[in-house]
Structure 1
Amino acid sequence: MAERGKYNNSVRGSDADVEYSCTPCADEGNDEKALKYCPECKEYLCAACMKYHLKFSATKKNTLQDNEFQRSERDSIDTTSNEDKMFKCLHHPDRNIEMYCGDHDMIYCSLCVAKNHRQCSGILEVEEATAKILIDKQDDILRQIDTLQAEIQATRQKKEVNLIALDQDKNDILKTIEDTELLIIDKVKALATDVKAITCFRYDGLKKDIQHEDSILLCAITDTDEVRKKIETQAHLDAKGQFLRYILHKHTFSKIKDMHCSVEKDEKKMKCFKNNEFIQQVSTAEWLLRVVESNSSGPTTEEPMYKKSHREISVKGNRDENTCSILGICQLNDGTFLIADRDNKSLKRLNKDFSIIGEHNLGTSRPISMCSVGKSEVAVKLENHTVLFVSIDDTFIEKTVIYYY
């Protein structure tokens, strides 16, 4: 439209010469000087657009003007009545409805037709379309309105019932979440209670052992004191008596020393081992329950994924000649898994127990990457500069090959 045109001002004395850019060219990002103005389309036109404007059937009857560049559309006063506005173009409210498009079965102004309906067939002026096209009787439209309103009211009632059911669904899900949360918490508490009891039991046993060893050490101290006293009081004995006492004291001291050594290095300790597999499953879990939308007309919009942990699985196929080299793995919508085996040039499908239920040979080229692109479709990038799209149902179906360089 006119206000979209670009212009430059140059002042000569007290007058300003305004040069406008072509409106269609400006819409495309080009700056072409306008030579004409179409008051009906409210567009400024360069030489090239002017020729096309005069050739197109919807605008060829328009009168182009030379001296209308200074007019301001925004200064015009809207004196259109409400009744007349009913017959204004929906896209250009300042223009009257003039044309009918048979392809879209809709009425437009000539500007709409010129811009957006050039390839449509069945373009007629409103007067011509009025004479050719049979209009349904008003009472037929009224009956259709009554029928539609009844259907809308029935649908509203269904929505009200649906809202009540949805509210119940929400309450049921929240109850399930709470029950599941309590179940897990109760299980963890029960496991914690058991291990606490075992810890206290082990501690009591070790404590008694240490107390018993301490009593042995007290006895050893008493015995060594006794040996000391006897040695200090044997000076009155003759050589034979001192020799006999020496041998006995030496034997007693050796026993006390052995008793001390037996308890000296026996340090009592306690330690625990975490159930890392259980802790990892809980700490890395991304969801407790999965809430999905469902409707009566089709399956759920999303199926919860099946998750299972294994320490070691075998994915060797019957026809494998090399060790399996997994370079990609993805889970399909039905819960099964697909792995890309590089060295055996194949795709392998695993069930929820990770057993092979299907294999697909990729030919002579090895896969180098794989990703899911649909509910049951994967894209496999091969070494021969191709991307292979494979659909997986009961069998593997190669659909499309794209070459890249």
Structure 2
Amino acid sequence: MASKCKDPLETSVLNANNLKHDFSCSVCKEDDLNVEAKHFCGDCLEFYCDKCLTFHAKIHRRHAVLGRKDVDKWVEQGDALVSCDLHPSKVLELLCEDHAELCCHICVSLNHRLCRDINLISDVTKGIHKMANFKQLLVNVTKVTAKLNQTKDAIKKNQNLLNTSGKSMLTRIKDLRKTLNQLLDDQEKRTMEQMDRVLADLDGSLQKDIDHCDRLHDQLHVLLDSALSQDKDSKSGSYIGYRKCQDKMAEANELLQALSMKPEATITFQPDTRPQQLLSDLKALGIIQVYLDPQFEQSSRQIKQSSDILKVFKVKEKNTFAVNIKADKILCDIIGMIELSGGEIVLVDSKHCRAKVLDSNYKVTCHCDIPKFPQDICLISDHQVAVAVDGYPSAKHEVHFLTVSAGTITTTRKFKVNHLCSSIRHHGGQLYIGSLAALYLHTTTGKLLKKVYEDTSGKVTVNNFDLSTDGSKIYILASSHNKVVTIDTKGNILATLMDPDFDWPLSVHVSECGHVFVSSQASNTVVQVDQEGKKKLATLVRKGDGINIPQAVLYCTRTGRLIVGGQQNNILVMELQ
């Protein structure tokens, strides 16, 4: 009959194995023994008990071994592999399977008290050297480190290219500054030359009058002296002198009369404020554009997350500018705006069927008539725009191309489409045209390529739209449902956004940097939306802010200004920060 009592030696061994040590002998662990370490070898990075140290000393006599009195230096001397990251003085001895984390005893007590599956590392490491994954560790690590080195080299190459590009850009910026300085120097020189010519002409005229006065003055004195010096018997000489003095005095009086009527010459300088205004309107001499390499896709996402795209705007200052002209008989109806490369603004006035060009001071410089009725406008090139024209309910569905050049704007060509033409955008050399309930893709010559998107759930589900800067997303205003729908170029819905400030959304604009702005007609609001189309970031315009029925919005990156047009003769221009 077997005894129920355990052997005392066996019990002692079991109790020893259940003890928890700060450092256990590395050699004994391999024999499944839990023996406290009394020594640490900094060269081997192993812990040893007294017994195992004897064998170690015979093999590695020159290794530096630390005893228990230097236990604080054990981890510092290179045992980072087994030390806890959160508690460096403690050794990793446990594995939390619930979190797949290596832990020390403090980690378990603080962060893993409720975890159910916690094991000693010594229990899970049995046969580690025979595991296939462990045998492949060197190969796998080598592959990963090789890829890291390859990626690092590519990033360094890109970094060097950026540095080179930065130096090149700096040179171009300085050259531009030199050019501007030279232009200003030339203007200054011409202005001073003009001033010198004017001064010389005025000075010559004044000097001529001075010389005339001096000449008459001297002539009178000579004649007077001659008349008075005649002998009393020479009556004829005295008479002749008298008459000549009288004639010369008459001439002098005529001169004095003429000079008294002649206004005093003055000269002033009236500076041309346009260059100063233009420079003050600019935030920089140009735009620094970033082109990201596809191989750094992850870095690209991180850069975008930390870039200006996340900026939430606030209104710093606002002003209004008149955009009506003498020929306008009724209230303006601004339904679309774009900015040319030179900074001019081209807007479409639907009620007057006109396209108007504004300068940097928002003054109308030229205009042209458009057939009934213009619906929207988009930028084609530096000096060309396209206007969507639709006479619905009539059958006129057209796109008109206008060119701005030499202070004029003229229609150069047009084409017809077989659907409503209510909104228009240009991207990648192609035209996207909206028809209130669908979105179509055309070539710039008018050929229909495909129907991108359609929503028949309401009368106006594609009232207006715009594309993200990379063309991967399209923000669509479903006015009938008071929401913004974001789709990809295949027509798949990526996001929908509804908000109380979206009451009949009518215009959406994406800036050069990717900021999204939405204006709503009924709520009299302009809202900034995140680039995913999932969240409202800020409401920039509300009712009473100086715009009636906002239905066109444009953000000018160069000036940092948001321009809003509506059913009134003024546009609202806001400085954002």
Q: Give the TM-score normalised by structure 1.
A: 0.51
Instruction: Give 1:208's match in structure 2, choosing from 190, 204, 210.
Output: 204
1:95 aligns with 2:90: yes
Instruction: Give 1:111's match in structure 2, choosing from 96, 106, 111.
Output: 106
Which structure carries more strand by proportion? Answer: 2
Which structure carries more helix by proportion? Answer: 1
Instruction: Give 1:277's match in structure 2, choosing from 274, 277, 291.
Output: 274
Whole-Å Cα distance in 1 between the matches of residues 192 and 251 of structure 2?
A: 40
Q: Which residue of 2 aligns with 1:146?
A: 142
Deviation string, structure 1 residues 42-72 (Cα, Å, up to 9, x no partner): 9xxxxxxxxxxxxxxxxxxxxxxxxxxxxxx
Deviation string, structure 1 residues 340-390 (Cα, Å, up to 9, x no partner): xxxxx99977899xxxxx9733645x66xx886756965116579xxxxxx
- How far 1:181 moved relative to its partner? 2.3
Query: What letter matches 1:113 in structure 2?
Result: V
Whole-Å Cα distance in 2 between the matches of residues 362 and 122 of structure 1?
A: 60
Name the SS for the 1:208 alignment partner.
helix
Equivalent runs, 1:2-401 vs 2, <5 Å? 77-79=69-71, 86-118=81-113, 122-126=117-121, 136-225=132-221, 228=224, 253-264=249-260, 265-282=262-279, 285-291=282-288, 293-297=290-294, 308=343, 310-313=360-363, 360-361=519-520, 363=522, 378-380=537-539
- How far 1:213 moved relative to its partner? 0.8
Q: Is the 8 A contact 2:84 2:104 kept in 1?
A: yes
Whole-Å Cα distance in 2 between the matches of residues 287 and 41 of structure 1?
A: 66
Q: 1:84 to 1:350 in 2, by over 3 A?
A: closer
Whole-Å Cα distance in 2 between the matches of residues 347 and 126 of structure 1?
A: 64
Q: Is the 8 A contact 2:83 2:89 kept in 1?
A: yes
Whole-Å Cα distance in 2 between the matches of residues 154 and 274 of structure 1?
A: 60
Q: Which residue of 2 aligns with 1:28?
A: none
Query: What letter matches 2:276 in structure 1?
Result: I
Q: Is the 8 A contact 1:346 1:361 kept in 2?
A: yes
If asked which structure has higher relative contact order (CA below 8 Å, sep 6+), I would say 2
Report the number of matched residues. 279
Q: Is the 8 A contact 1:227 1:253 kept in 2?
A: no
Deviation string, structure 1 residues 136-157 (Cα, Å, up to 9, x no partner): 5322111101211322332244
Q: 1:383 to 1:286 in 2, by over 3 A?
A: closer
Q: Is the 8 A contact 1:101 1:123 kept in 2?
A: yes
Name the SS for the 2:187 alignment partner.
helix
Whole-Å Cα distance in 2 between the matches of residues 359 and 143 of structure 1?
A: 54
Q: 1:221 to 1:276 in 2, by over 3 A?
A: same
Deviation string, structure 1 residues 83-108 (Cα, Å, up to 9, x no partner): 98754433223434343223432210
Cα RMSD (Å):
5.4
Whole-Å Cα distance in 2 between the matches of residues 115 and 247 of structure 1?
A: 128
Larger Rg: 1
- How far 1:182 moved relative to its partner? 2.5
Q: Is the 8 A contact 2:518 2:528 kept in 1?
A: no
Percent of matched pairs sharing the same residue? 14
Q: Which residue of 1 aligns with 2:322?
A: none
Whole-Å Cα distance in 2 between the matches of residues 92 and 362 of structure 1?
A: 60
Q: Is the 8 A contact 1:88 1:95 kept in 2?
A: yes
Q: 1:120 to 1:198 in 2, by over 3 A?
A: farther
Higher mean displacement: 154-163 or 99-108: 154-163
Q: Is the 8 A contact 1:103 1:120 kept in 2?
A: yes
Q: 1:102 to 1:269 in 2, by over 3 A?
A: same
Whole-Å Cα distance in 2 between the matches of residues 260 and 166 of structure 1?
A: 77
- How far 1:295 moved relative to its partner? 2.3
- How far 1:259 moved relative to its partner? 0.7
Whole-Å Cα distance in 1 between the matches of residues 518 and 86 of structure 2?
A: 58
Name the SS for the 2:92 alignment partner.
coil
Name the SS for the 1:273 alignment partner.
coil
Deviation string, structure 1 residues 25-53 (Cα, Å, up to 9, x no partner): xxxxxxxxxxxxxxx899xxxxxxxxxxx
Query: What letter matches 1:93 in structure 2?
Result: P
